[in-house]
């Protein structure tokens, strides 16, 4: 069907786990892709690819024709198993030049590209990220690549002087986080503290934010504490937008935020894997570790950020003046829609019911959150995750969740088609997570009647929850779900 030039052919019998990209150890660096045999000065339309920038990822480009190029994702550093995240630029284009890019070496077979997801694009003259039209994106098993799954997308360049950037999802870099946290510090908010909890292997900051009203915290009563982390998996960039949404709301002057700061201490680690984020990895740290499988015994030299966070949580759990009530680890999901949660399985049925309270309340407050996708499991492969390990470490008044949000979109009650997530709607989910603690702690009566708010309180017991051993089935909530949840009773 397509003719590959002999100069660009590679060994297609290579180990399938590595996808045949053993040589892909770095990103392309201002790589000009000219027709085979061409030796002159590159012309307009001889595309120049680059991924040598923060969070960039593109390991190789094969010329198929003037209009078609095969793109190879660079595997995570020191770990060839993971090839999902891509982020690269294209320049030296010709106006109205039409191309097809084939991303040919994904390590996962299941993908939201089957369900309408598309890459995001921006250019120098249009710096806001936008999703490509779904009609221009195809996901299929390709005989030319050992029947691996390939994502192809068509694109028409329209401005010759622009540099175009394409990515798997909206990037959120380590540098962006540092600028954001520095801007918060400059506001000198009395209820916000930023500290360096540790350093990564490559000496990047591990930041810890504490948000609370210190005047109230210094009182005699026991302090309720919520601990939240994000970006343990570096390619899951939506987690950073959700986390920023939580932070933005908690430090705001919204009356709900003021009440929460008076009654709760929030500890937030916005980026658990700064090296992986900086390097453009999808799943792993610099040294090739999936940090979310090493909570049981993190190494201070191989997993220093995880080691520091675990030490802090253990220390706070032993502090009699603090009640560590929540641990929430924020992720993004590559095959499901909506926001949803994973929780743990307990033998005590009452604890099972209590664990379901927070996701039920969040479902009422966030239209993109699906309780029907939320599940509670004890999968063996998840034993080293933060949710599972801390769920066993903390006492039975503490609840540990993984909060997942789709890389792509969400369904709402009565909607006929999925609504693609934007940076803003990811942040909105974060603010709704923060607001839900008002309901959970029954602080609604402290909101003045004349101040509108979307949160509702409820005092009754939920319908019994079944413990699932796998992921939630179905996507989104239907109208029946919403009506049932409104009428169900929950007990804190």
Q: What predicted TM-score, i.e. pTM, was given to this entire model?
A: 0.87
Contact indicator for 161, 175 with CB cutoff of 8 Å? no
Say which residues have a Cβ less than 8 Å from residue 252's Cβ, sequence separation at least 6: none
Tokens matching residue 486: 């409104």
pLDDT value of position 464: 42
Q: Where are the alpha helices (DSSP H) in 325-467?
A: 349-355, 357-365, 386-393, 423-440
Say which residues have a Cβ less than 8 Å from residue 410's Cβ, sequence separation at least 6: 337, 338, 339, 367, 368, 370, 418, 419, 421, 425, 476
Helix (H) or strand (E) holding 214: helix 214-217
pLDDT value of position 55: 98
Contact indicator for 334, 407 with CB cutoff of 8 Å? yes
pLDDT value of position 282: 98
Q: Which domains does the chain have, with CATH numbers?
A: 31-167 (2.60.40.3120), 174-444 (3.40.630.10)
pLDDT value of position 260: 97
pLDDT value of position 469: 39
Residues belonging to the active site: 404
Measured distance CA(208)–CA(269) in Å, rounded: 5
Contact indicator for 309, 292 with CB cutoff of 8 Å? no
10-residue mean pLDDT profile of the chain (492 residues): values are 34 37 78 94 96 98 96 97 97 97 94 96 98 96 88 97 98 98 98 98 98 78 92 98 98 97 97 98 98 95 98 94 95 98 88 93 97 84 80 86 97 90 98 98 77 38 40 35 40 35
pLDDT value of position 373: 96
């Amino acid at each position: 069907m397509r003719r590959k030039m002999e100069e660009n052919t590679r060994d297609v019998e290579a180990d399938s786990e590595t996808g045949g990209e053993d040589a892909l150890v770095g990103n392309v660096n201002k790589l000009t892709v000219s027709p085979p045999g061409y030796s002159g000065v590159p012309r307009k339309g001889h595309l120049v690819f680059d991924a040598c920038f923060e969070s960039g990822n593109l390991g190789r480009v094969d010329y198929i024709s003037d209009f078609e190029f095969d793109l190879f994702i660079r595997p995570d550093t020191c770990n060839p198993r993971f090839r999902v995240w891509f982020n690269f630029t294209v320049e030296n284009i010709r106006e109205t030049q039409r191309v097809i890019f084939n991303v040919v070496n994904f390590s996962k077979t299941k993908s939201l590209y089957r369900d309408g997801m598309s890459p995001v694009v921006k250019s120098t003259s249009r710096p806001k990220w936008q999703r490509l039209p779904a009609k221009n994106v195809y996901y299929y098993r390709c005989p030319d690549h050992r029947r691996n799954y390939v994502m192809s997308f068509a694109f028409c360049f329209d401005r010759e002087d622009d540099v175009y950037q394409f990515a798997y999802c909206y990037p959120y870099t380590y540098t962006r986080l540092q600028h954001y946290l520095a801007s918060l510090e400059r506001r000198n908010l009395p209820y916000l503290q930023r500290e360096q909890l540790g350093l990564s292997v490559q000496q990047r900051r591990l930041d810890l934010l504490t948000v609370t009203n210190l005047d109230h915290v210094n009182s005699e009563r026991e302090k309720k504490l919520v601990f939240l982390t994000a970006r343990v998996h570096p390619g899951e960039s939506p987690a950073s937008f959700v986390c920023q949404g939580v932070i933005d709301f908690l430090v705001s002057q919204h009356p709900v935020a003021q009440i929460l700061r008076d009654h709760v201490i929030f500890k937030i680690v916005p980026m658990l894997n700064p090296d992986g984020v900086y390097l453009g990895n999808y799943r792993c740290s610099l040294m090739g570790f999936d940090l979310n499988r090493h909570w049981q015994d993190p190494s201070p030299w191989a997993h220093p950020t995880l080691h520091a966070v675990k030490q802090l949580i253990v220390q706070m759990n032993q502090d009699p003046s603090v009640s560590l009530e929540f641990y929430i680890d924020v992720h993004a999901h590559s095959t499901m829609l909506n926001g949803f949660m994973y929780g743990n399985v307990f033998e005590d049925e009452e604890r099972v019911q209590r664990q379901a309270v927070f996701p039920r309340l969040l479902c009422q407050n966030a239209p993109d959150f699906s309780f029907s996708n939320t599940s509670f499991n004890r999968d063996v492969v998840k034993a080293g995750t933060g949710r599972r390990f801390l769920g066993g470490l903390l006492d039975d008044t503490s609840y540990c969740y993984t909060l997942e949000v789709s890389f792509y979109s969400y369904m709402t009650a009565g909607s006929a088609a999925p609504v693609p997530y934007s940076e803003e709607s990811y942040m909105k989910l974060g603010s709704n997570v923060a607001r839900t603690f008002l309901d959970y702690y029954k602080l609604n009566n402290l909101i003045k009647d004349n101040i509108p708010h979307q949160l509702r309180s409820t005092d009754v017991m939920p319908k019994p929850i079944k413990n699932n051993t796998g992921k939630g089935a179905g996507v989104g909530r239907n109208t029946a779900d919403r009506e049932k949840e409104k009428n169900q009773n929950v007990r804190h």
